[in-house]
Amino acid sequence: MKTNIPLISSLRQPFRSFLLLTLFGLITFGFMTKAVGFILVQRETGVLGSYYRSIGILENMENPQSGDISAGIELIETSPYFAYGDQRQVVSGVMPQTYNANDIFKWSNSTDLTQKLNVYVNVHTTDIWFMGELIQKEDAQDEQKKTIGYYLKFKIDIVLAGYPENAKQSQLKGILFMFEGNEAAIPIIQNIEIGQRYLIRCWEDPGQKFFPWDSPYNSILQIIPLDDEQLWYIPIANGASIDFSDPAMAPIKNKIDILNENLHTLNIIATADMSAMPRTQEASRFYFLTEGRWLNRQDNLDGNKVIVVTEDFATMRGFKLGDEIQLTFRPLKDTFLGYIRDGLDSVNWRNYPTYRNTFTIVGVYDKTTPSPIYAFIPANSLPPGFTSITQDHQFRLDDEYSFVLDSSRHEAGFVQAYKAPLEELGIKLTFLENNGAAYWAAVDPIRRSLAAELLVFGLLMVVALILAAFLYQMQRKRDYAILRALGVPAKQANTQLVLPLLWLGGLGIIVGSLPAWNYALDQAKATLSSLPMPAGASTSTGLSPLILAGLCLAVFFVLAMFSWLGAFSISRKPIYELLQGQTARPAARQKRTETRPLSQPLSSLSSSPARAVDQDESIKPEPAVNRADLVARRKYNPFSLSWYVIRHGMRSRLKSILTLAIALGFMLALGWIRQTMERSQMEIDRLYDTTVIEADILQTSSTTSSTGGTTFISRRAIDSVLNSGFVKESVLEAESVWSKIETNDPQNKFPGAFRVYAYDNPEALHSGLADPDSLVFAPGWDINLFTQPQTLEEIREKGLPAIFPASLLAQWQVNVGETVRITDRSNRTYTCIIAGQYSGLTGSTFYSTYIPRGGDYILLPISTLKSMEGTLTQFTMAHFVLDPKKNRELPQLRAEMENVMKVYTGKFRFTIWDEELAVVITQLEKNLSLLRMLHPIIVVVSVLIGVGLCFLILLQAAREAAILRVLGTPQTAVRLALLSESLFLSVIGVLIGLGISRFLWMASSLVPVGAMLADAGLYLAGALAGSVAGAILVSNKTPIDLLQVKE
């Protein structure tokens, strides 16, 4: 291998080589920091965009609840925009050691002996089987003192099946036997004896209407036959038991075993992506997380053994996040929500295959409206064939199927392509509403601006690399000329010239890229890792090392390309020109130089302290006039100094252009970065100020009924929210009871408990009626007049308006427009105007969900009820629309309301529906803050690059400095001449950059003028520092040292 002269020269000049390496490192550091920030922001904004998923729903237009949609599913799966579908299925999972939640939907799980087995659910979860002693038996009488059944009280000694909170050993349990419908069994019950032990089966009847609400017999258990026929009990001797191994007892044993299975059955839904279910979207206001996370698609793809359960189940059975639940799965053939029903499954369930595994709780959720208590697992967490079905699809899930598109950007095109074909199949296509369009409208300009910013910074890096390569090759061109003069071929000489530069550049790229990579990722981790992410997405602040390698190779490729271009350019120059260190000059100028007489005196040498040759004595001494003229020429003035700077800069055009371009590029790049950050901040502020956030006071357990009078929302809690300064609008509803109503006829007095419900506005009242068309007002009244606010004085003076059920008015023979006297629950009496009447049920519309409340409610305006009851008003709904101007202060409101809700010992929670704000907009702002954190580093690196380039440029001016010194120019003047050139070019570049920035951004206030001037000042300070250091270093040497090449 031949000796590489440029490499040896570089090693013999370690200081210059180190400076060049440092310069490459700084250039790479600046570009890598910017590139990593750009990649992270592009990726994170894309991830945040996944929050606005296009979630579609298919419904059979003839039968939305149970109609077939399979043809529609097959059609949409052919779309290129179709990402995946979620066909949710019921799974029967039994917890061997744990009871399920004893929720209010057990009423739909009860037994109805008057219905066919395939019509009613008949899962018997409200049944209780026990052995116990009859200790009391008495007649059960109605309000008219008529005996309508028997009241039986047992002392339980053995519980065979039943919820532990419903039946325990030694507990006294009262049971009713009603005559109606059980006439044939009356003699059998009459024969039951006090003091005798029996095997008893009873059930909790939710539809029991035999007794008034304040009767001691209200809402108690009823006895039912053991065999669903006429076997009402089995006597058991004291101390004895029942032999269930007897074949005659097999049917009863099977019923008890099935009930125990059902009491331990968790209502499980298998899903492909719980996070994309319509009911888990915050916009639906249906399910919401209290702890942990939703299941996502990755859980399903990986088959993770994870589960999400309801808060009331977790609280009731003592589970918490991270606990494990052991489940036994069985594929039922005719199930209701995973329970074993009477019929096909009750006969064959023991023969079905089973699969047992343990699932970890990763999420706990609650519900805003009463609904079944479902648990959710990934569909692929089960082996194939372990889901359960219902014969003839009798019991189907409310939201059985949904699908997700690959991007919300494609929603409009998908609807246009498939809406009409689906309607031809009798299937309706709908998408959940989201703010995806607004999000992308705000983010796309930011992403484009960041891309343009990276491009500008990349171009600046290219210019800096070109200048660095140029400086290296100017430094090594004498070595190259020696190689060529020694006969080394051009191709081999080019390789030897470029190789040290590539070694230095490669090492500098690595040295600069690794700290930049680690610093940017550390800042990203500190900024982004603690923020919530969209459902279905996981937090990631790392990048693949392949990206680092790719960026390094890209920078190295650019350096190598321009290094070879520079070598090729040098190879075309004559060797003598490279040895002389001259730059190309115009031909005419060169000709004049060649014809100049060689005997022309070089007066500049006469005064040189480095003079090496004595003057020839034959040469006549110059006249005094000439010597005086020479002295005058040695002096300098600003004009001559400026002229030298201009002329020298014009001779070194490439170096001058690159120096000016670097200064101009840095100013434009820094200006672009600032305008990007300012524009992004404006978009984020706009999103903050236009995003409407709502909030609600909710019961901690949505399965609790408010009719018990124990879970009403207090007025104090509502006033705390209203007086917080955050509320823009509110919707309140309340409930009460009137103890007596009497008409104008003194004989017509109607005692009892008359339920009253109050609405906040006409829209809420109208939407709360199941049959709005039945609403009829008295002459002179309408819905707007009815809902006008009233003070207590106005109520006492004019009376209060109310809308009565038409059934009550017919029963009392009272017409609309008449007045009655009412007595409220505080025993105060008011005149009441019957302003209107309605028929049917009433309810509340909670967002898009209608919650039926029942019939026979007297309706009032909420303002009227608040005036009557004051602080005793019992609110059932408290909904608030918050002021968008306060969006940034929502954490303060949340903290204040948490303290307020603690007063109510966990009965209520204040829920702010700010997922979009927290997940998307706050995260977007954190991405911007990452750019702001990286910006000072980029500015510092830019200044250091300016310092290094100016310093290296002046190190190349040794020959010019020597000539100036030989000509007698003072050291100070030489320094000024040297530093003025690079500083002058930097100032020109900065001024042009400021002018362009003024035109593009500063005039529109996108970039603060002060910030741009500060950036310009910092860069010029760096250029001045580098120029001064270089000028001092060069001018401190003697002309002989400057002209000689020392290694």
Q: Binning pLDDT at 50, 70 and 90, where does residue 498 land?
A: confident
Strands (E) across 932-1046 are located at none
Q: According to the model, what pLDDT value does residue 966 have? A: 75
Q: Is residue 536 part of a domain?
A: yes
Per mean pLDDT, which range of 407-421, 538-552, 553-567 is the poorest? 538-552
Task: Convert the pLDDT of each residue in 851-896 to its tens digit.
Answer: 777 778 999 999 999 999 988 899 988 999 999 999 889 989 999 9
104 pLDDT tier (thresholds 50, 70, 90)? very low
Question: Does 890 map to a domain?
Answer: yes
3-state secondary structure 771-826: CHHHCEECCCCCHHHHCCCCCHHHHHHHCEEEEEEHHHHHHHCCCCCCEEEEEECC
Choose between 445 and 225: higher pLDDT.
225
Amino acid at the residue 416: Q
Question: Cα–Cα distance between 479 and 469 in angstroms, integer?
Answer: 15
Boundary residue ending a domain (214, 244, 262): 262
Q: What is the pLDDT of residue 112?
A: 40
In a domain, 108, yes or no: no
Q: How many CB atoms sit inside 10 A of residue 126's CB?
A: 22
Name residue 403's beta-bridge partners: 56, 85
The residues near 369 (Cβ < 8 Å, ≥ 6 apart) are 286, 702, 846, 849, 851
Going by pLDDT thresholds of 50, 70 and 90, the confidence category of residue 745 is confident
pLDDT of residue 91: 94
611 inside domain: no
More confident call, 230 vs 453? 230
Q: What is the pLDDT of residue 702?
A: 44
Express each pLDDT in 33-75 by its tens digit: 778 877 877 777 777 676 678 899 998 888 766 678 899 999 9
Average pLDDT over every residue of 90-107: 79
Alpha-carbon distance 858 to 739, whole Å? 12
φ and ψ at residue 939, rounded to 5 degrees: -65, -45
pLDDT in tens, 768-785: 898 999 999 999 999 999
Both structure tokens of 465? 């690399």
- Three-state DSSP class for residue 763: helix
Looking at residue 303, its pLDDT comes to 95
Mean pLDDT, residues 367-372: 78
The mean per-residue pLDDT over the stretch 248-262 comes to 94
Q: Are residues 939 and 833 in the same domain?
A: no
Q: Determine the Cα–Cα distance for residues 89 and 101; give it in Å rounded to an integer.
A: 20
The model carries a pTM of: 0.70
What CA–CA distance (Å, rounded) separates 132 from 171?
9
State the number of CA atoms in the 13 A half-sphere of 954 facing the CB: 31
| 928 and 807 within one domain | no
Task: Determine which helix (DSSP H) or strand (DSSP E) holds 1029, and give its type and residue range.
Answer: helix 1009-1035
Lowest average pLDDT, out of 453-457, 587-591, 823-827, goes to 587-591
Are residue 349 and residue 428 in the same domain, yes or no? no
Which pLDDT tens digit goes with each residue over 122-131? 888 889 999 9
pLDDT at 616: 44
Query: For residue 703, is pLDDT > 50?
Result: no
Amino acid found at 206: P
Q: Is residue 898's pLDDT more than 60?
A: yes
Q: How confident is the model at residue 1021 (pLDDT cuts 50, 70, 90)?
A: confident
Domain membership of residue 429 as a residue range: 55-70+72-80+408-434
Q: Over the chain, what is the mean pLDDT? A: 80
Comparing CA positions, the residue from 485, 358, 375 lying closest to residue 101 is 375
pLDDT of residue 591: 45
> Is position 544 within any domain?
yes
Residue 359 Cα distances to 300, 325, 327, 364, angstroms: 13, 5, 7, 14
CATH number at residue 202: 2.40.50
- How many CB atoms are closer than 10 A to CB 1023? 30
Q: What is the mean pLDDT of residues 795-813?
A: 91
Model confidence at 119, pLDDT cuts 50, 70, 90, reads: very low
Element (H, E) at 1034: helix 1009-1035
Do 253 and 297 have their domain in common?
no
Q: What is the structure's pLDDT at 189?
A: 93
What pLDDT was estimated at residue 542?
A: 67
Q: Mind listing the pLDDT tens digit for each residue in 685-695?
A: 887 888 889 99
User: Is the pLDDT reported for residue 838 higher than 90?
Assistant: yes
Contacts of residue 665, defined as CB under 8 A and 6 or more positions apart, other chains included, come to 456, 459, 460, 463, 464, 989, 993
CA distance 1020 to 950: 11
φ, ψ of residue 496 in degrees (nearest 5): -65, -35
pLDDT exceeding 70 applies to what percent of the chain?
81
Q: Are 659 and 949 in contact (CB under 8 A)?
A: yes
Per the structure, the count of domains in the chain is: 5
In this prediction, residue 671 carries a pLDDT of 80
Number of C-beta neighbours around residue 546 at 10 A: 8
The per-residue pLDDT for 625 is: 40
Residue 1046: predicted pLDDT: 53
* The predicted structure's pLDDT at residue 357: 96
pLDDT of residue 448: 74
Cβ within 8 Å of residue 719, ≥6 positions away? none
Q: Are residues 497 and 640 in the same domain?
A: yes
Give 793's contacts (C-beta < 8 A, 6+ positions apart). Answer: none
Same domain, yes or no, for 227 and 271? Answer: no
The last residue of a domain, from among 231, 262, 293: 262
Task: Write down the pLDDT at residue 2.
Answer: 63
Q: Is 104 among the domain residues?
A: no
| Closest by Cα among 510, 390, 350 to 117 | 390
Of residues 531, 413, 560, 666, the one with CA closest to residue 47: 531
| Same domain assignment for residues 843 and 805 | yes
Q: What tokens does 108 get?
A: 């739909």
Same domain, residue pair 12 and 142: no
> By percentage, how much of the chain surpasses pLDDT 90?
32
Residue 306 has pLDDT above 70, yes or no: yes
Predicted confidence (pLDDT) at residue 1010 exceeds the cutoff of 60: yes
Residue 394 lies in a domain: yes
pLDDT for the residue numbered 524: 67
861 touches 763 (CB < 8 A): no
* Predicted confidence (pLDDT) at residue 302 exceeds the cutoff of 70: yes
Residues 907 and 852 in one domain: yes
Q: How far are the Cα atoms of 62, 63, 80, 410, 420 from residue 428, in angstroms, in the given order?
A: 10, 11, 20, 18, 9
Identify which has the larger pLDDT, 397 or 237: 237
Please tell me whether residues 232 and 130 are part of one structural domain: yes
Categorize the per-residue pLDDT at 234 as very low, low, confident or very high, splitting at 50, 70 and 90. Answer: very high
Q: In terms of Cα–Cα distance, which of 449, 365, 410, 399 is closest to 85?
A: 399
- Within 10 Å of residue 1031's Cβ, how many Cβ atoms? 26
Q: Is 906 helix (H, G, I), strand (E, B) or coil?
A: coil
CA 398 to chain centre: 27
Q: How confident is the model over 607-645, as pLDDT tens digits?
A: 333 333 344 444 445 444 444 444 444 555 666 666 666
Tell me the one-letter amino acid at 581. G
pLDDT, tens digit (0-9, with 9 covering 90-100), for 644-687: 667 766 777 767 777 787 788 778 877 877 777 787 788 778 87
pLDDT at 499 over 60: yes
Q: Which of 434, 451, 480 is the last residue of a domain?
A: 434
803 exposure class (CB count in 10 Å sphere: 0-12, 13-18, 19+): buried
557, 669: one domain: yes
The mean pLDDT value for 905-913 works out to: 83
What is the structure's pLDDT at 674?
A: 79
Q: Are residues 240 and 276 in the same domain?
A: no
How far is the C-alpha of 291 from the C-alpha of 278, rounded, in Å? 19
Classify residue 214: in a domain, yes or no: yes
Helix 715-722 × helix 890-901 angle, to 10°:
160
In whole angstroms, what is the distance from residue 29 CA to residue 512 CA? 5
More confident residue, 496 or 192: 192
pLDDT category at 990 given cuts 50, 70, 90 is confident
